[in-house]
Amino acid sequence: MLGARRLDPLQDDSHKPMKNSTNVVFSTCPDLVTAKRLGAALVEGRLAACVNVVPGIVSIYRWQGAIQEDSECLMVAKTTATRVAALTEWLRTHHPYELPEIVAVPVTAGLAAYLDWISEQTEPAMQSA
């Protein structure tokens, strides 16, 4: 097609290796209400720029010697590497599970403007004097 822009991730400047160390943090929750409450608090506290809540997952795992199967919701939080420790500590304190899933995965590339937005949204708010 004439005039169509071909996107080549290796040559497109808008999709380049990150400079701001974005991470994606996964955490499961027992229900939608809990996931939305925790996700909103993470964004409000600037610990995450965005939290996606994925309802309707089934988790199968071993806990205290027995195989378990539970319906859960998955939170997918976007943050920076410098905020992962604070996000983890906050979530560990406020999560209803005894041992919550909190898994951070580094992002190696992405849309530069989106990655910059994540960095901006997770900067701690300026304190008023």
In order of their start, the domains of the chain are 17-121 (3.30.70.120)
Can you give the pLDDT at residue 95?
98
Element (H, E) at 29: strand 22-29
pLDDT tens profile 37-76: 999 999 999 999 999 999 999 999 999 999 999 999 999 9
pLDDT band for position 125 (cuts 50, 70, 90): confident
For the entire predicted model, the pTM comes to 0.82
Helix intervals (H) in 9-95: 32-44, 81-94
| Mean pLDDT score across all residues of the chain | 88
